[in-house]
Amino acid sequence: MRKPLLWIIILIISISMIAAFSLNGCKEEEVAEEEVAEEEVAEEEVAEEEFTILFVPGIADPFYFTMERGIKEKAEELNINLIVSEYPDAWGPEVQVPILEAATAAGGIDLILTAPTSTDALIAPLKKLYDQGIAILTVDTYLGDGDYSVESDYSFPLSYIGTDNKLGGKEIANHLAEMINEEGKVYLMNTNPDTSSVVDRGEGFKEGLAEYPNITFVGEDWCLDVQQEAMDLTTAALQKDPDIVGIFGVNVFSSQGSYQAVVNAGLTGAVKIASWDATQTLIEALKAGEVDLVLAQKPAEIGALGVEWGYKYLKNGEEVPKEVIPGFEFFTQDNVDDPDMQQFIYQ
């Protein structure tokens, strides 16, 4: 064979081999790409949210906004689909029940975290949803007497997760007693007589005061969780008993209304104010000397625990404790600027 012909044959063979290799390489790349795509689909399937939790708050206030933050963070961590209902703009079943019904109408909810705005009126609407297979967990407030360990028409919720309100009320009584040198007239601004949290706070407070023989409890009013009402009622109480020396406001709106009434009456400092709920407003009032004590609940923790226990129940059928009780903190003029305390301000 002549040399040029030999070179041509070698060239043709080489080109075909290169083509064959690169074709093969492309196929391998395609296979690899397909495998990656399949893996991505599989990953997406794992990442898909398994459960849906609905949060129905009690009212639009900084306490529940902070609770929602805790709920959201935990739901994200556990890859839970979270729905937050409309916020009621007033306290009570007339507002909360329609919101609950609207939020559940489309179905697809595995668990409801809610603060019942009435110990009685929320039993039937929540039981109806429970009977449809939705788990119920009450946060901040409870149904009936809150004892879910004994079979009753309100023992269907998995748990009550919230503050020990009676204990908090008792401790407030002790602090206020100290502030007024254990003597004089004391007034209580409460909100709603069928709401477990505030009723327990009031009872704890009255029990606590009973230990002080020189303190006179002049009475309690119900502002229905309306700040203006709390201010008007406190103003009237101060007119009736001008020698009141101490007031306990049981929550955000009752405390904010009460201290404003005292400020308006020019009695700042003469009437000591013990307030409940660490809103920015009450913390600022404490710094300004218009409020003397602020109890901070742990709404974010309450919410996060609700999601965590709900998830354990939905995922593994774990038994949820009937009661889970995070603690509380006290802000005073002495510690209000402590860096460690800032985390307890609602936001």
Residue 31: Cβ within 10 Å count: 10
Report the interface residues with ligand T6T, using CB under 6 A.
58-59, 61, 63-64, 140-141, 197, 251-253, 277, 297
Q: CA 279 to CA 295: how far, in whole Å?
A: 10
Q: CA 269 to CA 289: how far, in whole Å?
A: 7
Q: How far is CA 323 from CA 69, 149, 158, 163, 230, in A?
A: 22, 9, 9, 10, 31
Q: How far is CA 76 from CA 68, 83, 124, 318, in A?
A: 12, 12, 31, 20
Q: Minimum Å distance from CB 197 to ligand T6T?
A: 3
Residue whose CB is less far from ligand T6T, 234 or 245: 234
Q: Give the chain's end-to-end CA distance (angstroms, integer).
A: 91
Q: CA 73 to CA 55: how far, in whole Å?
A: 13
Q: Minimum Å distance from CB 58 to ligand T6T?
A: 5
Residue whose CB is less far from ligand T6T, 109 or 115: 115
Residue carrying the six token digits 């949290």: 197
Residue carrying the six token digits 């997760």: 161
Residue whose CB is less far from ligand T6T, 55 or 253: 253
Residue whose CB is less far from ligand T6T, 165 or 212: 165
Q: Minimum Å distance from CB 302 to ligand T6T?
A: 9
Residues 6+ apart with CB under 8 A from 207: 166, 169, 170, 173
Q: CA 142 to CA 167: how far, in whole Å?
A: 16
Q: Minimum Å distance from CB 244 to ligand T6T?
A: 23
What is the 3-state secondary structure of 172-228?
HHHHHHHHCCCCEEEEEEECCCCCHHHHHHHHHHHHHHCCCCCEEEEEEEECCCCHH
Q: Minimum Å distance from CB 89 to ligand T6T?
A: 13
Q: Minimum Å distance from CB 161 to ligand T6T?
A: 12
Q: Minimum Å distance from CB 216 to ligand T6T?
A: 26
Strands of the 323-324 sheet, one edge to the other: 81-84, 52-56, 111-114, 135-139, 160-161, 323-324
Residue whose CB is less far from ligand T6T, 57 or 125: 57
Residue whose CB is less far from ligand T6T, 197 or 281: 197
Name the nearest CA neighbour of 239 among 221, 212, 213, 226: 221
Residue whose CB is less far from ligand T6T, 208 or 249: 249
Tokens of 344: 């307890």
Residue whose CB is less far from ligand T6T, 58 or 306: 58
Residue whose CB is less far from ligand T6T, 56 or 59: 59
